[in-house]
Amino acid sequence: MRATLMYKAGDVRVENVPDSVIKHPTDALVRITASCICGSDLHPYHSMDADAGPARMGHELIGIIEAVGADVSTLRKGDLVVSPFAISDNTCEFCRENLQTSCSHHEAAFWDGIPDEGAQAEAIRVPLADGTLVKLPVAPDSALIPSLLTLSDVLGTGYHAAVKGGVKAGDRVTVIGDGAVGLMAVLSAKRLGAEQIILMGRHPARTDLGLEFGATDVVSERGDEGIAKVRELTGGHGSHVVLEAVGHMPAYQQAIGIIRPGGTISRVGVPQYQDAPVGFPSLFGPNINLAGGPAPVRAYIEELMPDILNGVIEPGKVFDTITALENAPAGYQDMDDRTSLKVLLTP
């Protein structure tokens, strides 16, 4: 079968790999009908050493079940399913607390941690299928597929940012980052009733989509100038909640600069740093809360899916490029060049 592999920074290839097969009785074999490239995939695209490759790529997918293991009870051949980016049994203590990214089952993992599988491929073996996969009540060629695919990561991640930030009716919220997750954070803040949503971004096509999703203001400035602009828009005090969807230190520093006393910074951009200001001047003194983490998107799928099915939201608009799996290397380059916001891949 064909699959996407990253050999080193900037070197992505689509090659033949051994077919995925069922290995355990709790597995399902899924023929992938839609997958995509994530902004987080660009981190290794910038920095991966050759000795770490080749690595299978991709953690977002929709597909059709081709076969199930003997112990799979809720799924059958022919079901159309969406997979979160984290594998979980959905029954352990942490899963019952809606923290599937911390599932205690020995097979639980992030897709990126399974060396012989990846979603940017023609097929995939899904461990713990009953807990991980969610059936979709549409046809594989439904016009809703792009929006339903966002349930695998970006919509759930943006929503997790807003939930962990405690966004509620009347809040002033600032979203840092105009990538797909940042735009989903805007949509999520709107869904939870935020009164003011400031989107910090510099790419007009993306910030225009952010305005469509519910942003009330756009700030293109960065650094001290951007902080000053947000504070001006929020009456001088800053935002109740800052949703940080970038993951780099300048974004974290910007968040500290625009959060109001007693507010919450919620980070879902994968941090590309280990050390960050948390002391008296930054967080402790003004009673700032720091939240966020890898989104347990499995916990949000059933909550968010009806809004997609009923046309209340259309998160699939973040896919501005749809192309064949064979074109994945060009998709990475386009996303890195900012000529594509998010690339959807079809077999």
Which superfamily, per CATH, for 2-153+297-346?
Medium-chain alcohol dehydrogenases, catalytic domain (3.90.180.10)
Note the pTM of the prediction, 2 decimals.
Answer: 0.95
53 has pLDDT over 90: no
Q: pLDDT tier at 122 (50, 70, 90 boundaries)?
A: very high
337 has pLDDT over 90: yes
pLDDT tens string 289-307: 999 999 999 999 999 999 9
Helix (H), strand (E) at residue 252:
helix 249-258
Per DSSP, the residues of 173-184 read EEEE--SHHHHH
Two tokens at 327? 């074109």
CB-based contact 221:240 (threshold 8 Å): no
Per-residue pLDDT, averaged over 30-53, amounts to 95
According to the model, what pLDDT value does residue 334 have? 97
CB-based contact 70:76 (threshold 8 Å): no
| CATH code of the region 158-292 | 3.40.50.720
Report strand pairing: 11-16 vs 259-267: unpaired
CB-based contact 296:153 (threshold 8 Å): no
Q: Is 82 exposed, middle or buried (0-12, 13-18, 19+ CB in 10 A)?
A: buried
The residue among 270 and 225 whose pLDDT is bigger is 225
Two tokens at 200? 């910090």
pLDDT tens string 133-162: 999 999 999 999 999 999 999 999 999 999
Domain ranges of the chain: 2-153+297-346, 158-292
CB-based contact 44:112 (threshold 8 Å): no
CB-based contact 264:288 (threshold 8 Å): yes
- The conformation of residue 11, written as its DSSP 8-state character, comes to E
To 10 degrees, the CA torsion angle through 264, 266, 267, 273? 20
CB-based contact 317:338 (threshold 8 Å): no
To 10 degrees, the CA torsion angle through 275, 337, 343, 273? 0
Helix (H), strand (E) at residue 65:
strand 61-68
CB-based contact 21:69 (threshold 8 Å): no
Question: Can the peptide bond before residue 54 be classed as cis, meaning omega within 30 degrees of 0?
Answer: yes
pLDDT tens string 162-181: 999 999 999 999 999 999 99
The CA distance from 43 to 30, in Å, is 27
Per-residue pLDDT, averaged over 81-102, amounts to 98
